[in-house]
A and B are shown apart, each in its own frame.
Chain A
Amino acid sequence: MTNYKAIVIGGSAGSFQVVTKILSSLPQNFSLPVFLSLHRLKHVRSGFLEALSIKSKLSVIEPYDKEQIKAGKAYLAPANYHMYIELGNRIALSTEEPVHHSRPSIDLSFITAANAYRDKLIGIILSGANTDGALGLKHIKDYNGLTIVQDPSECQVRTMTEASLKHTAVDHVYKTDQIINFLNNLK
C-alpha cells in the first residue's frame, strides 16, 4: 500500500486532454481520492463533468458541500465555487473572492489539501495560462508532500508549470505518460 492518501491536480488552458488521459488510465479501484481543481467557465454548470467522465474509469463527481471523501473517486471543483479539503475527511465549498481571477482557485484547493493531508499528499500541476497553483504547490512541498509538474515542453500553455517550477524545487517534472505510470505504480 502506498503511504499517500490523496492526489490533487490543478490545471487550466491545455489541461483538459491531460486530465482525461490520466482519468482513463487509472483503475476503477484506485486506492486514493483524486481532487481536480481546474479552471472552467463560471456560468456553464453542465458539460464539463460529463466530458471528463466519458473515458474515466473512476467515477467523477462535482461534490456537494461537506460531502464525505472516498477513495477511488475523482472530485471536480464545481463551477464558480472554490473546493476545499475540510477536516474530518470532507469537502467544503466556498464562494469567497476569486484568487488570480479564478474560482475555483487551484492555490486554495492545494493549500487546504496540504493542511489536511500534510506529507501524505501528491500535488500535480498541469498546463495552464495563469500562475494559479504555484503557491499551492509550494505549500504541499513545505509540508513534505510530493510535487509533480507536467513537463513544460509538452504543455499547450507553459505559464502555469513554469511559474510552479520557479517557486518550488519540485520532486518530478514528468510528461503525461510518466505521470500516469507513476500514479499506477503507487498501488
Chain B
Amino acid sequence: MAGEIGIVETKAVIKLIIEKYGIDFSDYALTSFKQRIERIIDLYNLKYSDILINRLNDDAAFFEYFLYEMAVPSTEMFRDPSFWRTLRDEVIPGIYRENGTAVKIWLPGSVSGDELFSIAIVLHELDLLEKSQIIVSCISKKHLEIMQSGLLNSSKLEVSTDNYIRANGMRQLSDYLVEENNNYYRDKRLIKNVSFFIQDVNCEPLPQNIKLVLFRNKMIYFNQVQQNRVIKNIHQAMGSGGILTIGIQEALGQFFGLTEFTALNEHESIYKRT
C-alpha cells in the first residue's frame, strides 16, 4: 500500500476503461476497486493514477495484466470446510439423484481455480466427475491460462491441505498435486472435460440449464446494483430447482427477494432456485 488515490481518480480510470475497452466497472464496489487500482499502481511502480491511465490508454497488452490483477483470487482451496462437507454429503447426492447424468455446474467469475479444483476433487471422489459438465467463465484470458495450467499459489498450500482434511477429503490433497520447479500444479486430468469461456462483468453470455452454481465471494466486489444484475442473470441461467452457493457472509435477500430462491442451508449460504 504505497500511494492512495481518491474517488475522482478511481472514476477517471473506470471512465477510460469504458471508452477504450468497453468494459464497465462503474458498479463495482468502490472501496475494494480503489484498492485494486492502488495495488496495481504499486505493483507496476506507476506512482500516480495519471500514469496508469496513460498506460491503459496506450497499451492493450497491459490492460490484460490490469484485468488479471484487478480480479481478486480466491483465498484457498476448500475454503469453509463445513460448506464442502455439506455440499458433498447433502447437496450433491440430491442433485445427481434428480438429474442423472450430464449435470451442468457453472463457476462464473473464476480467477484462480481454487473452487474449480475443489469441486472437481469432490466429484472425482464421489465418482461423479464423468457425469458432470463443469463450465468455467472468467473475465481475463490470463485467468483462463492460469486455471488450465493447474497452478496452485504456494501460499495457499498449507491452508488448502488443512481445509481438505477438515472437509473430510477421502485421500490426501498431495495426491492431486505435482511439484515442478518449486511450484505446485493440480492434476490437470481433473479438468480435462471442463469448458472455459470469457465472460463480461455481468457474467454474460449466459449458459443454460445449470444445476449447480458456485459463486462464492464474488458479489462482495460489486455494489448492490451490480449484485442485483448478476444474480438475475445467474437465476436465468439456472434450471428450476438448481442450487446456488454464495459466500458465507454474502446475502441474497436484501436486493433480490427470496421468492426466486429458498434457503437450503442458510449457515452455509446454499440456496435453491424455486
Chain A contact residues, CB within 8 Å of chain B: 42-43, 45, 62-67, 78, 80-81, 84-87, 92-96, 99, 103, 107-108, 111-112, 115, 135
Q: Which A residues lie within 8 Å of B221 (CB)?
A: 94
Contacting A65 at CB < 8 Å: which of B30, B80, B251? B251
CB-based contact B31/A84 at 8 Å: yes
Q: Which A residues lie within 8 Å of B254 (CB)?
A: 64, 66
Q: 8 closest pairs, A vs B, by CB?
A: A64-B251, A65-B220, A84-B31, A95-B217, A78-B249, A93-B220, A94-B32, A95-B75
Shortest beta-carbon distance, A144 to chain B, in Å?
16
Name the prevailing secondary structure of the A interface residues: loop
In the assembled complex, the Cα of A95 lies from the Cα of B72 at a distance in Å of 7
CB-based contact B29/A92 at 8 Å: yes
CB-based contact B220/A92 at 8 Å: yes
Which residues, 214 to 254 on B, are CB-close (under 8 Å) to A? Answer: 217, 219-221, 223-224, 227, 247-251, 254
CB-based contact A86/B29 at 8 Å: yes
Closest B residue to A112 by CB, please name it: B31
In the assembled complex, the Cα of A112 lies from the Cα of B221 at a distance in Å of 15
Does B209 interact with chain A (Cβ within 8 Å)? no
- A43-B162 contact given A65-B247, A94-B32, CB 8 Å threshold: yes
Name the prevailing secondary structure of the B interface residues: helix
Contacting B249 at CB < 8 Å: which of A64, A87, A107, A115? A64
Q: Which B residues lie within 8 Å of A67 (CB)?
A: 251
Task: List 18 A-B residue pairs with CB atoms under 8 Å apart, sorted by A's residue number.
Answer: A43-B81, A43-B159, A43-B163, A45-B80, A45-B248, A64-B250, A84-B31, A86-B29, A87-B31, A92-B29, A93-B247, A93-B250, A94-B35, A94-B220, A95-B74, A96-B35, A96-B36, A96-B72
Chain B contact residues, CB within 8 Å of chain A: 1, 4, 7, 29-32, 35-36, 72, 74-75, 79-82, 159, 162-163, 166, 217, 219-221, 223-224, 227, 247-251, 254
Q: Which A residues lie within 8 Å of B1 (CB)?
A: 99, 107, 111, 135
In the assembled complex, the Cα of A70 lies from the Cα of B85 at a distance in Å of 35
Q: Which B residues lie within 8 Å of A84 (CB)?
A: 31-32
Q: Which A residues lie within 8 Å of B32 (CB)?
A: 84, 92, 94, 96
CB-based contact B163/A65 at 8 Å: no
Shortest beta-carbon distance, A104 to chain B, in Å?
11
Shortest beta-carbon distance, A38 to chain B, in Å?
16
Contacting B75 at CB < 8 Å: which of A80, A92, A107? A80
Q: Which A residues lie within 8 Å of B224 (CB)?
A: 66
Q: Which A residues lie within 8 Å of B227 (CB)?
A: 66
Residue of A64, A99, A115 ringed by the most chain B CB atoms within 10 A: A64
Q: Can you name 14 extra interface pairs (CB under 8 A) apart from A66-B223, A94-B72, A95-B74? A: A43-B163, A65-B251, A66-B251, A78-B249, A80-B79, A84-B32, A86-B30, A92-B29, A92-B220, A93-B250, A94-B31, A94-B221, A96-B32, A96-B36
